[in-house]
Amino acid sequence: MWSLLMSRSERLLHLLQVLRRYRRPVSGQVLANELGISIRTLYRDIASLQAQGAMIEGEPRIGYVMKPGFMLPPLMFGSEELEALVLGMRWVADRCDRTLAEGALNVLAKVSSVLPSELRRELEESALLVGAPLQRPNNPPSHDILRSAVRSELKLRITYMDGDGIQTQRVVWPFALVYFDQSRVLMCWCELRNGFRNFRTDRILVTDETNERYPKRRAALLREWRKAHQEASKTILPESDRIGS
């Protein structure tokens, strides 16, 4: 019954989302049952999506599968998805360094340029705004270098000053950059401490690129950090053990 209340565009979007969950061909009847529509309606919806460029392979009585990598047509954005996109990009544009801020505004411009007029107006007139923070974080120019090192899985040499003003030189394996409202934290494996350490970016005084790959993959380091964090969370660690020690 709920499917009768959906617009056709919402139903097509839901069909795409269902197809994404299956890696092997799934029968049309299974899809129709999940969507609460008739098999004839499903066939029409599949044909409509294929005409819009969706890489859906298959045929009746055999099954359907969608090739990975299909880009969702902007036409298929729902109202809540557009609002989430606008709010997220506005937050990035307001809170982050210049490079990310420009990237966020470019995303909004690109999406707006290909939306149908009704959805474009909805995007441009969104009433979800980003409030001013109590204190804006310091976004040093080195953030571009930090993000590049994380993406490329490269070691960095940094000079870091802790909360007591003590400076140390480190070689680190950066695997994530965390954006808090009032600070940014680089998550690393630290060769000096032979363990995971977090470094507030506004306390990194010098950042030198090494062009040397660290020996593990970024995703593996993140999994190891999560496991270590879960174990450490059973006890309360002092601040010096968590940030830059």
CATH number reported for the structural domain that contains residue 196 in this entry: 2.30.30
Residue 179: inside a domain: yes
CB 166 within 8 A of CB 157: no
3-state helix, strand, coil in the chain (%, to 5): 45, 20, 30
Same domain, 191 and 235: yes
Per-residue pLDDT of the chain (245 residues; tens, 9 = 90+): 444 446 677 788 788 888 888 888 999 999 999 888 999 999 999 998 888 778 889 887 788 998 876 655 555 677 888 899 999 999 999 999 889 999 999 989 888 877 777 788 888 889 999 988 777 777 665 789 999 999 999 999 999 999 999 999 999 999 999 999 888 999 999 999 999 999 999 999 999 999 999 999 999 999 999 998 888 776 554 444 457 77
* Pairwise CA distance, residues 15 & 41, whole Å: 11
Choosing from 36, 51, 74, the residue where a domain stops is 74
* Pairwise CA distance, residues 75 & 177, whole Å: 32
Give me the half-sphere count of Cα atoms (radius 13 Å) on the Cβ side of residue 140. 15
* Pairwise CA distance, residues 59 & 72, whole Å: 21
Tally the domains of the chain: 3
Residue 111: inside a domain: yes
Same domain, 87 and 70: no
Same domain, 51 and 83: no
* Pairwise CA distance, residues 103 & 94, whole Å: 12
Instruction: Return the SS3 of 169.
Output: strand
Same domain, 92 and 150: no
Residue 91: inside a domain: yes
Alpha-carbon dihedral 197, 198, 200, 205, rounded to 10 degrees: 30
Residue 23: inside a domain: yes
**pTM higher than 0.75, yes or no?**
no
Same domain, 159 and 117: no
Tell me the residue range of the domain where 170 lies.
143-242
Residue 119: inside a domain: yes
